[in-house]
Amino acid sequence: MDYFFSQILLDLQKRISKELPEIQFIDQDLGQLGQVDEDGRPPLAYPAILIDFPDTSFSELSGSAQLANAQISFQLIFDNYSSTWHKSPARVVAKGLDYLNIEQRLVNCLNGWSEDYFTPLIRTNVRSQNNNDIGLRVRMLSFSTSYEDYSTFPDEESKEVSFTFKGGLKTS
C-alpha cells in the first residue's frame, strides 16, 4: 500500500494483536461506539481498540514533498467492571484495575515503535471517557509520529535513476 494511513493502520493492527493477544477487536474508528445492538451496547468484542487519525499537519520539504506530523488516537474499550472500592477483596480490586494494566502494556507496545516509513510513536495524551450508561470503560490514548510524504510528486519527477562508474581514481 502506498498511502500512509492505510499502511500504518494495518501495521498497528498486526503489532497490537501480536503483543496483546487478549485484545479481541482492533479496527479503524468508524463511529462504532455510537452504534448499539439489541443489548444497547456497541457490537464489539471486548476488550477492543478503535484507531483514528484525528489531526495531521504538513510542512514543505522540497518541491512538492511534505513532512507530515500525524496524531494517532486509540480508544481502549472494556466491558467488564469490578469494584475498586478500598474495602473490596484484593482479587476483586485487581480485576477492577486490570484495564489499567492492559493500557500500560499497550503504551509499552507502541511508545517508541516505528517502521522504516515513520518516526517512533510518542505518547502525547491519555484521558478517560466514561460510558457508564452502557457499562463500558473507555481510555483514550494519543500518540504522534511524522513521515515524509512524496506521494504528491508527479510520476515523471520521481523516477529512479542509477549511476554506473567505469573507470578508476587517479591519485597524485
The pairing of strands 48-60 and 136-149 is unpaired
Return the bridge partners of 129, or none: 138
On whether residue 78 sits in a domain, the answer given is yes
Q: What confidence score (pLDDT) does residue 43 get?
A: 81
On whether residue 165 sits in a domain, the answer given is no
- Is the Cα torsion angle 87, 92, 93, 94 positive or negative in sign? positive
The pairing of strands 25-28 and 48-60 is parallel
What total of structural domains would you count in the chain? 1
Q: Cα(44)–Cα(35) distance, rounded to whole angstroms? A: 10
> Using one digit for the tens of pLDDT, what is the confidence trace for 111-156?
999 999 999 999 999 998 876 667 788 999 999 999 999 887 765 5
On whether residue 38 sits in a domain, the answer given is yes
Q: What confidence score (pLDDT) does residue 131 get?
A: 67
Task: Kindly tell me if the per-residue pLDDT of 80 is higher than 80.
Answer: no
- Is the Cα torsion angle 110, 143, 50, 92 positive or negative in sign? positive
User: What residues make up the domain containing 136?
Assistant: 4-154
- CATH number for the domain harbouring residue 82: 3.30.2000.10
Residue position matching grid coordinates 512524496: 150
Q: Cα(70)–Cα(67) distance, rounded to whole angstroms? A: 10
Q: What is the pTM of this model?
A: 0.83
